[in-house]
Structure 1
């Protein structure tokens, strides 16, 4: 395999720009999307997908009056119809906006008030959340208006997606994403995911969020791979069963998924898994060890954001030294550095696709320092150029003079046999400035007690630090998370403020 440094030296954005475009998303043979649910299995070929998308595009443009730059929203889970709407939106130059089905009416209202959708599609069981819209079940009826004759020509800088950030530390912001997302996606699928011709690839993330949309739908389509949907509520045993049944060789999902699987799966599965990737939050070393010990597969940690896509990772598509616990190295074609403690991404890369926050110039301006976009994530960079995550800027604090991020303490906590999940925050303290406070979800079979609290505190003290150790423990039923699965530590801080 070619080394990381050789890939970086020979990398050319121009070569990629020549080979991909919106039309290349469906110019393939075979099955484009396959959906599994409790009702059974359904699928659609690339040819059928293109035909339906062109017909829907014709309806949207000529009947519904959708123009370039208008928003088309979709409130649905993992449905084939979503992919049809996505492509139809791209064909007419509209902005595709996914809405997550766990949203209530207020969350939907927040995400649709900056720019009212010209058309909002919804699946039948979501109707009560919207005041008006078009049922996805009517899609066949809407594709009877003939095919769109000419696809809208879009420049690389034209916006194609409106996707709201998950709001881990505040209200969500509408990120405008340009067509350059295709360039970023191509690079990540090739070098991060390391997608091979014979891979059976499954990204289990929900397409209502960036990772599921960018690399669960657009990424596979770019490479002519089948998009796989499991349209069921998450269950650890069912996920492993699905990996086994479908002979998945290349898998991607969020750290929460891997954590819960490693802490709760009871039986051994016959997996064909060769490559696994995690993104959304740092992946705890204990979880990586579990998958290596039990299935002989390394889960590689990848870093990105809605705004910039995946930009730092332990890639599968090249050879390099893997440093467990590190976020890895900058993606080929990107300049990434540390500025004001932030992970910063240079916007001059042709793959940089963030155009700004919709109707929010102040937040947009705050996010940049000259040509650099500041992510708000604090990290360090070692002498070899590897990045090491510390925490969200709002989560990092000083305890007894030491700078602490929650992730490293949470990783120690996961080594304790009683703990399913944990989140660590810092409480104000008049003497030491702050003390560490853990909120813990116990595994089934364990009961909260003062004795267990003391045991956990001593466990962290012995494994983490005698100087900066855990002071307080609370047991809770579940951690507060964004709809995309990120822990909302700021809500835990409010509990004790």
Structure 2
């Protein structure tokens, strides 16, 4: 009997010192991973539910055969190795089938979120020269609005609906054979492109290859998610975010674990999420910090989680008090993980190491990561600098290949022997990393450098605060001041007295100079689809306001 509670990594230092990826010359995830699990015809790959009482279980054999049918159909349409195929689907099994089929023919898949506008889609088709899109009836009108302006777009395929000018997904694959000779893709052939937004300019096209990314996620699945073939893993991420690749396909399926999928068209519902966690035999959970922050506001004592054994959070560091409340209710410590659209897991609180609440954890096996200064020198413990990955003499498995057709932007991420993540941190004496913020999120106030996360953490320790975002606000005297946007917990009302109380609270919890000189109470915060707070929007809002005041 498989012991799910025994961690895959029992000695961090030993695994880190000895670990090395095996990357073959040719690799294809669909053939070399999914088809191998499919040799057991009963092996569960997915347990799918929706909000209307529908439920289904799918095996690896099912995904293997369906993806081979779709690969046959796409090949007949003339889609070939190296072609770009856009994928815009919610949490439907066809999303997974499509990824595998696209990889089988050696084409490149580009995931997107349903929040994309027609203008966003037009830019993506122009930049990628995409030849096809697979989407649903809800998103099809966006494509119709721009398809005449996208000369490379030849094939539009619809899941779960029919419309003029669209191929019906079900009919397309219905009579195709369940056998397809998967392309013998080279390990360094492009397989996936993520469009990732920076603080300025158009989104970058981040290229991952057939071997480096899926194989790199062995560490994500085996050591961070701690998955085994008997697990049922739930990742709360939307399919449009790179985190879905991490935790909804490559991480779990590398390990032979089944994934739990909740297809919901509405906003995140903490009550529904807790009900599903309590009802189904879900053993491991991955969610953004915002999801955990909202769930701990519920009456957790009214739920029982008999199967849940391991929880992780990713997107941005999680506040220690949220971790404490969650642990008390579930018995599970939420273990942080850090990575980027450009990478697999890079730093984490691994299951076998002592958690230090507020810390990111230690570097992933296969990566040499440090904190460096502007000249590329490693900094001693306690000194803040740039989080960097050593890429010479050998680029680590799991790090992106390049920004598509943009060598200048790719070079801009390098400093000597290092890839610069754009995030700031410091290390302690024991090698734990402590996140400070995005390089462009750091607040410079009267000569002090202030990381927003520490102030946010202090604020959410106060019972009145459900969520907080901290940004720089222009100030004539200090250059910038700390400004906090606060969502209040149920039962609290905005007031000047509460502002003063929160300011004093932050002064007591952290260094007094870090306290927010301005606090604004709000009902929502701008977020990415992955749940990260978009501080850049709040910073711009503050700049516009202050500039307006000065006129």
TM-score range, shorter chain: over 0.9
Name the structure 1 match of 2:464.
Answer: 418
* Post-superposition offset of 1:252: 0.7
Q: Check 1:168–1:191 CA distance in 2 against 1; reply closer, same or farther (3 A cut).
A: farther
1:193 to 225, 231, 235: 225
Higher-RCO chain (CA-CA 8 Å, sequence separation at least 6): 1
Q: Please, what TM-score do these two structures have when normalized by structure 2?
A: 0.85
Name the structure 2 match of 1:491.
Answer: 537
Q: Check 1:168–1:248 CA distance in 2 against 1; reply closer, same or farther (3 A cut).
A: farther
Which sits farther off after the overlay, 264-273 or 373-382? 264-273
1:130 to 140, 143, 149: 143
2:237 to 198, 201, 205: 205
Gaps of 5+ in 2: 1-8, 148-155, 161-167, 375-384, 544-551
Name the structure 2 match of 1:176.
Answer: 207
Q: Distance in 2 between matches of 1:220 and 1:266?
A: 27
Q: Check 1:255–1:169 CA distance in 2 against 1; reply closer, same or farther (3 A cut).
A: farther
Q: Check 1:222–1:260 CA distance in 2 against 1; reply closer, same or farther (3 A cut).
A: same
Q: How does 1:82-231 map to 2 (within 5 A)?
A: 82-131=95-144, 132=147, 133-137=156-160, 138-143=168-173, 144-147=175-178, 149-167=180-198, 171-179=202-210, 180-231=212-263
2:296 to 262, 268, 276: 262
Q: Does the CA-based 8 Å contact 1:166-1:483 persist in structure 2?
A: no
Q: How does 1:16-35 map to 2 (within 5 A)?
A: 21-23=29-31, 24-28=33-37, 29=40, 30-35=43-48
Q: Distance in 2 between matches of 1:393 and 1:149?
A: 47
Q: How does 1:339-350 map to 2 (within 5 A)?
A: 339=372, 340=374, 341-347=385-391, 348-350=394-396
1:459 to 462, 481, 505: 505
Name the structure 2 match of 1:330.
Answer: 363
Gaps of 5+ in 1: none
Q: Check 1:15–1:9 CA distance in 2 against 1; reply closer, same or farther (3 A cut).
A: farther
Q: Check 1:33–1:196 CA distance in 2 against 1; reply closer, same or farther (3 A cut).
A: closer
Q: Does the CA-based 8 Å contact 1:169-1:490 persist in structure 2?
A: no
Q: Check 1:368–1:15 CA distance in 2 against 1; reply closer, same or farther (3 A cut).
A: closer
Q: Does the CA-based 8 Å contact 1:13-1:350 persist in structure 2?
A: no
Q: How does 1:435-474 map to 2 (within 5 A)?
A: 435-474=481-520
* Post-superposition offset of 1:452: 1.9
CA RMSD of aligned residues (A): 2.1
Q: Distance in 2 between matches of 1:3 and 1:366?
A: 36
Number of residue pairs matched?
494
| Corresponding position: 1:4 with 2:4 | no
Q: Distance in 2 between matches of 1:26 and 1:100?
A: 28
Q: Check 1:171–1:19 CA distance in 2 against 1; reply closer, same or farther (3 A cut).
A: closer
